[in-house]
């Protein structure tokens, strides 16, 4: 065994002190004014959209999946709750993590923390987990609030399948937040100024929300140009454009929640008329099939979260902390 490896070998688990970090960080998050503002914002959104949705559902009448409609029904001028989540979740996640590491640097507390019997691994992982748990806590509370308001306003309990789909939706939302959390954490490691990190995170989010759709269209037109105008060419171009937009976490998340909250959705891609021949339209998909439909999207969200964390971890481990 080479000498260099021997010097690197360490004693004990790298996760020692992890839960202490998680507990302290969560306490910080939950008592911060920043979180309070975001919580009030999300609370208002949830109450407003659910009120509007129940108003709409009461007027339109019966549906088999009425509780799922609480999340997806919009009433002018208020968009549906899922529409709000599309930008409220990234905002919250970025707010939770943009100063995770560089804040400690600037307050010169990092070396003090690391003087404790805590590995760097545990510190970073603990910070990430604390952010994720805080996000999960907030989202679960709002989820329960919406279901509760729904029961109060509609007067019926949700069915088992509705609860299962709702929980899957919650899981998707948490991991969608996880991506932005991990991204903001990477930027907080790279940039020494918290403001720069926050701005960089928001820039990436804006890029994917606003510009990525246009760019993927342009890319698809360049890679698969329509020369003759055959349907195959058009299809190839459209499929490439769709595949490219799926790089954006926003698209992944929105597709997944559509498949989860709307049981009649049978496919997320292009559907050829041939595939629809003989199909019973409007029949809801079994729960397992709906989950299967959104499974690749969840995989993408989870994998992106883990890989971004891995990137941040590598960058953090190679950094000089004794500044």
**Contacts with another protein, residue ranges (CB under 8 A):** 8, 10-11, 14, 119-121, 266-267, 271-272, 274-280, 283, 285-286, 288-289, 292-293, 295-296, 298-299, 302-303, 306-307, 309-310, 313-314, 317-318
Using only C-alpha atoms, the chain has a radius of gyration, in whole angstroms, of: 23
> What distance in Å separates the CA atoms of residue 136 and residue 129, rounded to the nearest whole number?
10
Closest CB to another protein among residues 157, 286: 286
Q: Which has the closest alpha carbon to 242: 222, 213, 204?
A: 213
Q: Are 111 and 222 within 8 A, CB to CB?
A: no
Closest CB to another protein among residues 133, 295: 295
Least CB distance to another protein at residue 175 (A): 11
Least CB distance to another protein at residue 202 (A): 25
Closest CB to another protein among residues 202, 247: 247
Cβ burial 91-119 (10 Å sphere, 16+ → b, else e) = bbbbbbbbbbbbebbeeeebeeebeeebb
Least CB distance to another protein at residue 122 (A): 10
Closest CB to another protein among residues 35, 306: 306
> What distance in Å separates the CA atoms of residue 35 and residue 234, rounded to the nearest whole number?
47
Least CB distance to another protein at residue 283 (A): 4
> What distance in Å separates the CA atoms of residue 83 and residue 44, rounded to the nearest whole number?
14
Closest CB to another protein among residues 148, 288: 288
Least CB distance to another protein at residue 267 (A): 5
Q: Which two tokens stand for residue 249?
A: 């976490």
Closest CB to another protein among residues 228, 281: 281
> What distance in Å separates the CA atoms of residue 92 and residue 85, rounded to the nearest whole number?
10
Least CB distance to another protein at residue 198 (A): 25
Closest CB to another protein among residues 111, 299: 299
Closest CB to another protein among residues 33, 274: 274
Q: Are 92 and 38 within 8 A, CB to CB?
A: yes
Least CB distance to another protein at residue 151 (A): 29
3-class secondary structure, 18: helix
> What distance in Å separates the CA atoms of residue 198 and residue 203, rounded to the nearest whole number?
8
What are the two backbone dihedrals, phi and then psi, of residue 77, each rounded to the nearest 5 degrees? Answer: -95, 10
Least CB distance to another protein at residue 252 (A): 12
Per the listing, tokens 């907080």 go with 188
Q: Which has the closest alpha carbon to 199: 222, 215, 183, 221?
A: 183
Cβ burial 254-274 (10 Å sphere, 16+ → b, else e) = bbbbbbbbbbebbebeeeeee
Q: Which two tokens stand for residue 309?
A: 């964390």
């Amino acid at each position: 065994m080479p000498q260099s490896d021997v010097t690197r070998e360490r004693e004990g688990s790298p996760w020692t002190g992890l839960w202490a970090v998680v507990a302290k960080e969560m306490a910080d998050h939950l008592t911060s004014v920043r979180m309070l503002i975001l919580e009030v914002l999300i609370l208002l959104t949830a109450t407003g959209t659910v009120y509007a949705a129940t108003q709409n559902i009461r007027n339109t009448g019966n549906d088999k999946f009425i509780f799922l409609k609480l999340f997806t029904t919009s009433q002018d001028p208020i968009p549906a709750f899922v529409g709000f989540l599309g930008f409220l979740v990234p905002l919250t996640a970025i707010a939770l993590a943009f100063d995770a590491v560089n804040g400690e640097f600037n307050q010169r507390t990092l070396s003090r923390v690391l003087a404790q019997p805590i590995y760097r691994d545990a510190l970073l992982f603990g910070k990430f987990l604390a952010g994720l748990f805080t996000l999960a806590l907030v989202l679960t509370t709002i989820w329960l609030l919406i279901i509760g308001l729904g029961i109060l306003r509609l007067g019926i309990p949700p069915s088992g399948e509705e609860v299962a789909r709702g929980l899957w939706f919650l899981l998707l939302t948490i991991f969608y937040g996880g991506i932005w959390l991990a991204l903001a954490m990477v930027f907080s490691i790279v940039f020494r100024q918290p403001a720069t990190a926050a701005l960089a995170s928001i820039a990436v989010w804006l890029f994917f929300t606003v510009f990525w759709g246009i760019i993927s269209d342009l890319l698809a037109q360049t890679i698969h140009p329509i020369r003759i105008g055959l349907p195959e060419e058009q299809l190839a171009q459209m499929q490439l454009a769709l595949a490219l937009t799926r790089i954006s976490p926003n698209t992944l998340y929105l597709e997944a929640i559509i498949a989860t909250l709307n049981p009649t959705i049978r496919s997320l891609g292009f559907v050829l008329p041939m595939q629809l021949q003989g199909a019973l339209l409007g029949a809801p998909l079994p729960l397992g099939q709906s989950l299967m439909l959104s499974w690749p999207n969840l995989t993408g969200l989870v994998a992106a979260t883990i890989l971004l964390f891995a990137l941040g971890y590598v960058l953090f481990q190679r950094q000089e902390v004794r500044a």
